[in-house]
Amino acid sequence: MALDRPHVPARTPLAEHHHANAALEVSHLTAGYPGMPPAIEDVSLRVPVGEIVGLIGPNGAGKSTLFKAILGLVHPAQGQVLAFGRPVRQARAEIAYMPQVEEVDWGFPVSVLDVVLMGRYGGPRPFLGWSAADREAAHAALDRVRLAPFAARQVGQLSGGQRRRVLMARSIARGARLLLLDEPFAGLDAAVQHDLLAILDGLAAEGRSILIATHDLSCVANSCDEACCLNRRVIAAGRPADVLTEAILTATFERHLLAIPQAAEVVRVLNDGPLEPGPRNGHGHEVVR
């Protein structure tokens, strides 16, 4: 069964936020790496204030390159990236990035609180130390993701779901208004995913804007305000009901995908044969939940 969107308070209308325009505007962006063809071409993407946008596409589609370009880590060959109407280099304090959990060295001997504190300024402050305001923000973020009792625990002792909540707390403690999340739900069971979605929905209700790169099509269908299908170029963008169609998903993933909106789930057809319900069967069909 696909996850229903967690219940949260009604969101504030966009006009009531300080910035009524988009939190993120990517316009005709082409970017890549030296000596290689562009990883993304002519990409335009908009993340409205206070909304959750799901970015989906196959491996190698350019999702990571797009994130790096937004963060200023990859210089675009053409196009521009604006955050809250300003060039991204002028708005870096407004942006928080949550990497894939596999990209973090969880064996490093630091506590949960230390990791969250690093989000305050993007790194440790060994000479200046952390201010009272820094510590207050870090503890508040841990409380929000329900990890306050684990503040002194070594990060290497945490479960996969707890590690993702630590990374989310770090982004919250930063105070950023735009959150970029790279595969936050990979490998999580339904209950943990539901908890993380509830946290994200609460942040969006406060006016924060969230861009999620994910392979979880059902999450995008049921928990995102907008969807963007990317395969080096933007295949389609808009409300999930309009974007997650059979034709668009097939064009995005370059294999036959069948959307079943009545069941609020997406079935990936891994090979030819009759479609059958169920998480997996002998014909190689997989329900992506």
* Average pLDDT, consecutive stretches of 10 residues, N- to C-terminus, the chain (289 residues): 45 40 94 94 97 95 94 92 93 90 81 91 62 92 94 91 91 93 86 88 95 92 94 96 93 73 41 36 34
Fill in the amino acid letter for 90.
Answer: Q
pTM of the model: 0.80
Look at residue 237 in the predicted model and tell me its pLDDT: 97
- The span from the CA of 262 to the CA of 89, in Å, is 43
Look at residue 28 in the predicted model and tell me its pLDDT: 97
Residues near 101 by Cβ (< 8 Å), separated by ≥ 6?
Answer: 160, 163, 164, 167, 183, 186, 187
Look at residue 287 in the predicted model and tell me its pLDDT: 34
- Total residues found in the chain within this entry: 289
Taking only the tens place, the pLDDT of each residue in 5-48 is 444 444 443 333 444 479 999 999 999 999 999 999 999 999 99
All domains in the chain, ordered by first residue? 14-288 (3.40.50.300)
Q: Average model confidence (pLDDT) for the chain?
A: 81
In this structure, what are the phi and psi dihedrals at residue 148, rounded to the nearest 5 degrees?
Answer: -55, -40
- The span from the CA of 270 to the CA of 213, in Å, is 22
